[in-house]
């Protein structure tokens, strides 16, 4: 009768980039769509649809990233970016633009508070771009797990 020896299990190192994200968008449909997209990636998302709600969250909690959906004149969106950076100058702010022509000019007082501009996700390509942009701003989290697969 052959003797079976058990091979030692090897640890598996997993790297993820999950974070706590404040998501601000005045349109409920866009807010819910982007929140679902980010939550599906494993992020904890705090949604807000008004300026005062966004300011309350950003001053009362800590976040890894702020994502702002642009809808029109950019004034409230810019003020949310200003508040976020005033609370934590290292907090990255990603602004989602409906139209790439909406990037504010150099004279805009809060332009320096936005880390990056991206397109609002409408297509699968834009969804991938948003996911990649979010990952760029989140610190990697490394975890170790024991591989429990049985080998023959």
pLDDT at 130: 92
The answer to whether position 76 is within a domain reads yes
The answer to whether position 4 is within a domain reads no
The answer to whether position 117 is within a domain reads yes
pLDDT at 35: 94
The answer to whether position 1 is within a domain reads no
**pTM of the full structure:** 0.75
The answer to whether position 8 is within a domain reads no
Cα separation, 69 vs 32, whole angstroms = 11
pLDDT at 34: 93
Domain region containing 120: 14-144
CA angle, corner 140, sides to 65 and 149, nearest 5? 135
Number of domains in the chain: 1
The CATH number for 28's domain is 3.40.50.2300
CA angle, corner 136, sides to 132 and 139, nearest 5? 130
Sign of CA pseudo-dihedral 140, 141, 142, 145: negative
pLDDT at 118: 85
Buried b / exposed e over 112-140, threshold 16 CB at 10 Å, is: ebbbebbbbbeeeeebeebbebbeebbee
Number of Cβ atoms within 10 Å of the Cβ of 58: 25
The answer to whether position 60 is within a domain reads yes
pLDDT at 15: 67
Please check whether residue 93 is in contact with residue 48, taking contact to mean a CB–CB distance below 8 angstroms: no
Cα separation, 93 vs 51, whole angstroms = 15
pLDDT at 18: 82
**pLDDT tens by residue, the chain, 152 residues:** 566 666 667 777 766 678 899 999 988 898 999 999 999 999 999 999 888 898 899 888 899 999 988 776 567 777 888 888 888 889 999 988 876 655 655 555 556 788 888 888 888 888 999 999 998 898 776 767 776 555 44
The answer to whether position 19 is within a domain reads yes
Tokens of 89: 């100058």
Helical (H) or strand (E) element with 46: strand 44-48
pLDDT at 109: 57
């Amino acid at each position: 009768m052959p003797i079976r020896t058990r091979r030692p299990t090897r640890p598996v190192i997993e790297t993820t980039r999950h974070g706590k994200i404040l998501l601000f968008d005045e349109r409920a449909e866009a807010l819910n769509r982007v929140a679902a997209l980010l939550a599906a990636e494993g992020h904890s998302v705090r949604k807000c649809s008004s300026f005062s709600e966004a300011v309350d969250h950003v001053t009362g909690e800590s976040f890894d990233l702020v994502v702002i959906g642009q809808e029109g004149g950019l004034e409230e969106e810019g003020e949310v970016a200003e508040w976020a950076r005033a609370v934590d100058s290292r907090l990255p702010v990603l602004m989602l633009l409906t139209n790439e022509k909406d990037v504010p000019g150099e004279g805009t007082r809060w332009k320096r508070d936005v880390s990056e501009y991206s397109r609002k996700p409408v297509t699968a390509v834009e969804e991938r771009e948003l996911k990649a942009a979010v990952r760029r701003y989140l610190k990697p989290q490394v975890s170790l797990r024991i591989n429990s697969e049985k080998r023959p």
